[in-house]
Chains A and B, each alone.
Chain A
Amino acid sequence: MLYREVGQYKTSYAADMAVFPILQDRIGIGVILLVAFVVIPLTGNDFLLNAVLIPFLIFSLAAIGLNLLTGYTGLLSLGTGAFMGVGAYACLKLTTYFPQVNIIVWILASGFFSAAVGVLFGLPSLRIKGFYLAVATLAAQFFLEWCFIRIPWLYNYAISGAIEVPKRTLAGIALTGPTATASTRYVVVLGIVVLLTWVASNLVHGRIGRMWMAVRDMDLAAELVGIRLLPTKLLAFAVSSFYCGVAGAMMVFLWYGGAEANVFAIDQSFLILFMVIIGGLGTLIGSFFGAALIYILPIVLRWVPEAFGLPLHPATVEHLQFLILGVLIIVFLVVEPSGLARLWQIGKQKLRVWPFPY
């Protein structure tokens, strides 16, 4: 009853092509942004920010990156973790050599380094397709992992072998380092994620998104229509890696505060791939859904046994998490292979005609 398009006529093509054509959707987004930018920083506690929202946003960004490559362009990649790592290490080196430049600038700039590496490892996509290309991205993953450990220059020769994040400020407020408050870091992360999500939305709704999807659906036909395959695929690698790089830099600088190389190992790549698949391949909102489910689930699982009074050994809980995650993946794939985004779409459809069945 509330969610009706009745009376909303589009009188121009631009209006018809808008990202949120329905007024109720626009209001909804407005409310979410208001809550996110204003309400939460003022009222949220440190735990909510540190352990839930900041990582959720960061993983969502990485998931968007992978979704652009795998969901929209159809190029399966198992190197997400490594590309995130490139961003993190690039950011460290940039801020080490130019500490006077604002850290936010470097976080965004580190994406370009990731993009360059992504393009390099995307070159085989000229000849190789599908599953075989995924193995090429695995080569990138393992090689870069090796670099992160074996090239001490990357982590500033720290004895621990890990990235140690220096303190950086903006207008006197600490952004990174041990003194930065959770609220500050949350607002910065939120700002970057909202900005980059807007950019991703612009890209996928326009000419470039169509080119990517054409290459995914039938690359021979795409060539025929005048879409050049290699530049399109390389652009997908570049943009995707950019997003992953920024996410990686944020992960180290604005969340963990420091990191060892194993944070960017193959497990991370798989984790983000699950987020994308369960969330919905080829959708932006699916990236958020997937990140929410896969990231929040273990936290919930940790609290549920306690809430019910069952004292479970933490190791057992971890083993259970694996088991439940595995079962969830299969159940999801059986029930809705197009992911949570599709369920959301179906839900909205039903809402449009509610209370009628169809």
Chain B
Amino acid sequence: MRAPSSGDTALGEVLLAVEDVSLSFGGVRALTAVSFDIRKGEIRAIIGPNGAGKTSMLNVVNGFYQPQSGRITFKGEARNSMRPYAAARGGIARTFQNLALFRGMTTLDNILAGRSLKMRRGFFWQVIRHGPALTEEVEHRRRVEEIIDFLEIAAIRKIPVGRLPYGLQKRVELGRALAMEPDLLLLDEPMAGMNLEEKEDMSRFIIDVNQQYGTTIALIEHDMGVVMDLSDRVVVLDYGRKIADAVPDEVKKDENVIRAYLGQPHGVSA
């Protein structure tokens, strides 16, 4: 979508780092001293059993939750917590496990909403619309249509998203995130509830986004096949702690990971 400019982090360098992040809600410890980094241009998977704190981790990165301790370093800037608006401006976009689309709007409008940060024309121009505001709108419409073509959702662009089937809604949400032209894309279970065909489509989209546009991706996913095929590196969380952090092949063989997913062996060899 855009060529990397000189001010960006160079390929391979750390784009996002979380250090010693701990998060609790009342008495519940969601995350305990978690540290890992995400390098520019990679696809990083975050996996772990249910309740491990994966979504909480994304929420911290994105600014929905403020951790009690720890630091978040994004594009070289370190801070104690992130705010949603700062995250968006900084170039972080996200999709959600349970979908967070604007149900009252069409597909097109939802994705156009993703262009909000890029639209500059002020109130006065919006009042008269014809002129600079309309020109800007057409320009962004053009970009959004590129995304719509990329995700193959042209046929449903004028349909209110509430009426779309689940799989298509997920694609629209991805489109809205892509419209932000993010440096870091956080995907929370993008394949949830999809059949094999849909998963293959979604996987293809994710790879294309990563390779064509150079977008760094952090991905929460339960389907191990997808994780192993797509990701460059994997972080494994269990009960709020990091228990593994390596390339997929190593993680697959890691004893701690196997134990976390399968539980303790009961006299049957693992």
Contacts and interface: CB of A to CB of B under 8 A. Distances in A.
Check A-B contact in the complex, CB < 8 A: yes
Interface of A: 12-14, 17, 199, 202-203, 205-208, 210-211, 213-214, 216-218, 220-228, 235, 282
Given A13-B142, A210-B116, A226-B180, A203 B88 contact: no
A26 to B, nearest CB: 15
A210 B129 contact: no
B100 interface: yes
Interface string B84-115: 11011100011010001111110001001110
A202 B129 CA distance: 6
B138 A13 contact: yes
**Interface SS of chain B: helix, strand, loop or mixed?**
helix
B137 A207 contact: yes
Contact of A202 (B62, B88, B100, B127): B127
A103 to B, nearest CB: 23
Contact of B85 (A203, A208, A228): A228
A17 to B, nearest CB: 7
Interface string B60-94: 00101000000000000000000011011100011
A35 to B, nearest CB: 25
A206 B104 contact: no
Interface string B228-266: 000000000000000000000000000000000000000
Contacts of A217: 101-105
A342 B145 CA distance: 28
Contacts of B121: 207
A218 B104 CA distance: 10
B113 A214 contact: yes
A216 B103 CA distance: 10
Contacts of A213: 102, 104-105, 109
B164 interface: no
B270 interface: no
A221 B101 contact: yes
A221 B94 CA distance: 9
B115 to A, nearest CB: 8
B85 A202 contact: no
A206 B102 contact: no
Nearest to B114: A225
B10 interface: no
A72 B223 CA distance: 39
Contacts of A211: 113, 116
Contacts of A208: 123, 126
Closest 3 CB pairs of A and B: A226-B117, A202-B129, A226-B88
A206 B85 CA distance: 21
A214 B112 CA distance: 11
B100 A218 contact: yes
B172 to A, nearest CB: 12
A224 B62 contact: yes
Interface string B179-194: 0100000000000000
Contacts of B84: 220, 223-224
29 contacts: A12-B138, A13-B138, A13-B141, A13-B142, A13-B145, A17-B134, A17-B138, A17-B141, A199-B127, A202-B127, A207-B116, A211-B116, A217-B102, A217-B104, A217-B105, A218-B102, A221-B96, A221-B100, A221-B101, A221-B102, A223-B84, A223-B85, A224-B88, A224-B93, A226-B85, A227-B113, A228-B85, A235-B123, A282-B104
A6 B249 CA distance: 58
B128 interface: yes
Nearest to B138: A13
Contacts of A210: 105, 109, 112-113, 116
B116 A205 contact: no
Contacts of B138: 12-14, 17
A197 to B, nearest CB: 12
Contacts of B113: 210-211, 214, 222, 225, 227
B16 interface: no
Given A17-B141, A225-B116, A220 B85 contact: no
Contact of B100 (A17, A220, A282): A220
B176 interface: yes
Contacts of A206: 126, 129, 133-134, 137
Count chain B CB atoms within 10 A of each CB in A205, A210, A225, A282 and give the residue with the most: A225
A92 to B, nearest CB: 26
B33 interface: no
Interface centre among A206, A222, A235 (most CB of B within 10 A): A206
Interface centre among B85, B103, B142 (most CB of A within 10 A): B85
B234 to A, nearest CB: 25
B119 interface: yes
Nearest to B109: A210
A210 B89 CA distance: 18
A318 to B, nearest CB: 38
Nearest to B62: A224
Contacts of B142: 13
A202 B123 contact: no
Contacts of B96: 221
A224 B94 contact: yes
A203 to B, nearest CB: 6
A226 B96 CA distance: 16
A240 to B, nearest CB: 14
A222 B119 CA distance: 15
Contacts of A223: 84-85, 88
B38 to A, nearest CB: 18
B169 to A, nearest CB: 13
A171 to B, nearest CB: 26
A115 B154 CA distance: 40
Contacts of A220: 64, 84, 100
